[in-house]
Amino acid sequence: MAEIQPLVAGNWKMNGTTGALGELDALHQQLLDKGSGVNADVMICPPATLVSAAVARCQDGPLAIGGQDCHANPSGAHTGDISAEMLRDAGATAVIVGHSERRTDHGEASGDVHAKAEAAWRAGLVAIVCVGETETERRANQTLKVIAGQIAGSVPASATAENTVVAYEPVWAIGTGLTPTTDDVAEVHAAIRSQLAEMLPDGEGAKVRILYGGSVKPANAGELMAVPHVNGALVGGASLKADDFLGIIAAYRTA
């Protein structure tokens, strides 16, 4: 199996004003101090208003900064939206697309997410494409079918391990403190891995990082990150405090 460099990404969602940059500084400092002992890439996706400031504070350090969403177009009459090019201009290196909160709050369908992933690449950003089933879908034994449909619809066929990350986030596990069993996580991640391997040419599907997200905490990160085909985490609530996030990154500590 290909060696895959894990990624632990924090999604601050609609949380944080400039005062929150103190947590970013604390995280950054800890990574600088212990960086060589962490076998994972680390990223924070703050609100768009903080991207520039976050980038300025993490210059040349090990902490990457990403956006939480982008419009599919590079510019135009789309009041309130932000393009991938704007995020790139602000210094972001990645953007989350298709988070379930976007799919629910803004009615985004997989076709929209597909277009946003391509927009991310156009701007030189890595697209972090999110998929996940609802509680009703899981109860109805539809999980694998729903995820397969979302992957087929949201991940462009020209995705590579360099420009794309997939995040599996069961909707019912987000912000609830609930997590699937490690067997359930293993089943979904293995299914995503096989689908990507079939969909993407040149062996890229074997190398794309597949993150798990949904109530990842320091206490469960070790067991979740040890599941086969889990190549890191997408973390919401526990990324807001440097100590909690560091407790999750500790799953990848080598020293």
- State which residue, 99 or 200, has the beta carbon closest to ligand PGA: 99
Q: How far is CA 124 from the centre of its chain?
A: 16
Residue matched to tokens 């895959």:
4
What is the number of other CB atoms lying within 10 angstroms of the CB of residue 135?
13
When asked if residue 66 is in the footprint of ligand PGA (CB under 6 A), the reply is no
| C-alpha to C-alpha distance for 250 and 111, rounded to whole angstroms | 36
When asked if residue 235 is in the footprint of ligand PGA (CB under 6 A), the reply is yes
Q: Which of 28, 71, 99, 229 is catalytic?
A: 99
Q: Report DSSP state, residue 97.
A: E
Site string for ligand PGA, 139-178 (x = CB under 6 A): ------------------------------x----xx---
Minimal distance in Å, beta carbon 226 to ligand PGA? 18
State both tokens at 227. Answer: 């599941």
Q: How far is CA 99 from the centre of its chain?
A: 9
Minimal distance in Å, beta carbon 237 to ligand PGA? 4
Q: Which residue is nearest to ligand PGA (CB)?
A: 236
Phi, psi of 34 (to 5 degrees): -115, 5
> 126-131 and 41-45 as β-strands: parallel, antiparallel, unpaired?
unpaired
N-term to C-term CA, the chain: 24
| Known catalytic residue at 169 | yes
Site string for ligand PGA, 101-140 (x = CB under 6 A): ----------------------------------------
When asked if residue 180 is in the footprint of ligand PGA (CB under 6 A), the reply is no
Report the catalytic residues. Answer: 99, 169
Contact residues toward ligand PGA (CB under 6 A) are: 11, 169, 174-175, 213-216, 234-238
